[in-house]
């Protein structure tokens, strides 16, 4: 017994030694990683308002940008917030797959769409913030993918709200148009974000924000209307375990929408939030919390409102919504392809803004 305990202690000690060697291993892997630079040293459309330092130099090798996730720069927190969120969503999917039959139960497919779309948006966000600083072309490419992630997540939100959370009174009026309209709004959101980024090379930053915020606000209003009606009709006498999580997702979304639209902390403390404290970092945190509340609420609705949604939705509705999710992805991919062609003309040396 003593021998076994000593062997396990020895293994733990070896593991701790290996962990302590990680910083040195990173240093040996990239002994000459360049430091960060100021906003004046990067293209105009790379800059964030009131963030003056912490930018990574362009045109380095790929290894530099991958290893920069362990470096202190103004995208480090943005990378790690959504990387950790991705891992949490992955664990949540694994937990749910132990009790939910995602293959044989068609009624579970909307919930699966939400979780998959959450994984995609967080992964694309990590890629954009980690690799978008390599060059002008990759900046557009990865952030356009980020916008695809946002758009398809909006669709994922719409489908669980419509399938699980909607009341019969609202379903009676919108059952034929809700999901097709949600598909259109998601694609318009992707287009607005991409176009805003495209025009940001020669127009003020607020133009990009308008292109991103307005279509996304319209999509969110439509997608969340079943939840909003349910919250308005809720009373303290009702026994609804999911309602607190629906309240949570709305509160977190409104918070992240505010910090996405307005750089409050950077404006109040210019130059002091270059690495930690940016509004976009808070946006990431609140959006991740919103998604977790949304997944939990949808799971509770999936369990507790089965009689309601089984009656409202036909046997083939879930398959149709999976198909519309595929349509959303294809259309968004076409939008990105089109906008990348336009972006290449902007970054071409003959057309690049000086």
- pLDDT tens figures, 26-85: 555 555 678 889 988 998 878 888 899 999 999 999 999 999 999 999 999 999 999 999
Residue 179: closest CA among 113, 103, 102, 248: 113
The pLDDT-based confidence of 314 (bands split at 50, 70, 90) is confident
3-state percent helix, strand, coil for the chain, nearest multiple of 5: 75, 0, 25
**Per-residue pLDDT tens for 229-257?**
889 887 654 688 999 999 999 999 999 99
**Per-residue pLDDT tens for 164-204?**
999 998 999 999 999 999 999 999 999 999 998 888 766 66
The annotated binding site for Zn(2+) is made up of: 129, 280, 284
pLDDT higher than threshold 80 for residue 18: no
Q: At what angle do helices 178-199 and 205-223 cross, to 10 degrees?
A: 170
φ and ψ at residue 37, rounded to 5 degrees:
-130, 175
The annotated binding site is made up of: 129, 280, 284
Measured distance CA(280)–CA(261) in Å, rounded: 9
- What burial class does residue 124 get, using C-beta atoms within 10 Å of its C-beta: 0-12 exposed, 13-18 middle, 19+ buried? buried
Measured distance CA(304)–CA(301) in Å, rounded: 5
Name the least confident of 16-20, 152-156, 255-259, 332-336: 16-20
Average pLDDT, the chain: 88
Per DSSP, what are the bridge partners of residue 55?
37
């Amino acid at each position: 017994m003593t021998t076994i305990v000593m062997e396990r202690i020895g293994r733990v000690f070896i593991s701790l030694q290996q962990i302590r060697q990680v910083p040195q291993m990173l240093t040996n892997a990239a002994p000459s990683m360049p430091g960060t630079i100021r906003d004046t040293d990067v293209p105009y459309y790379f800059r964030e308002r009131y963030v003056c330092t912490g930018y990574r130099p362009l045109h380095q090798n790929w290894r530099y940008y991958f290893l920069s996730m362990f470096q202190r720069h103004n995208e480090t927190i943005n990378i790690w917030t959504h990387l950790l969120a991705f891992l949490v969503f992955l664990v949540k999917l694994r937990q749910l797959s132990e009790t939910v039959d995602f293959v044989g139960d068609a009624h579970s497919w909307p919930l699966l769409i939400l979780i998959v779309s959450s994984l995609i948006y967080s992964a694309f966000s990590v890629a954009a913030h980690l690799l978008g600083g390599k060059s002008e072309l990759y900046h557009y490419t990865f952030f356009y993918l980020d916008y695809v992630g946002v758009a398809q997540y909006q669709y994922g939100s719409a489908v669980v709200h419509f399938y699980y959370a909607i009341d019969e009174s609202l379903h009676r009026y919108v059952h034929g148009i809700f999901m097709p309209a949600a598909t259109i709004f998601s694609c318009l959101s992707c287009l607005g974000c991409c176009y805003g980024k495209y025009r940001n090379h020669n127009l003020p930053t607020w133009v990009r924000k308008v292109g991103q915020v307005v279509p996304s606000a319209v999509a969110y209003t439509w997608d969340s209307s079943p939840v909003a009606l349910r919250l308005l009709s809720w009373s303290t006498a009702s026994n609804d375990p999911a309602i607190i999580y629906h309240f949570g997702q709305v509160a977190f979304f409104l918070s992240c929408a505010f910090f996405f639209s307005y750089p409050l902390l950077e404006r109040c403390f210019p130059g002091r939030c270059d690495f930690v404290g940016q509004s976009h970092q808070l946006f990431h945190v609140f959006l991740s919390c919103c998604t977790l509340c949304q997944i939990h609420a949808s799971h509770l609705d999936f369990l507790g409102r089965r009689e309601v949604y089984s009656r409202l939705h036909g046997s083939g509705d879930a398959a149709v919504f999976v198909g519309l999710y595929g349509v959303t992805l294809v259309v968004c991919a076409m939008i990105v392809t089109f906008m990348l062609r336009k972006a290449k003309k902007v970054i071409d040396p003959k057309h690049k803004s000086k």
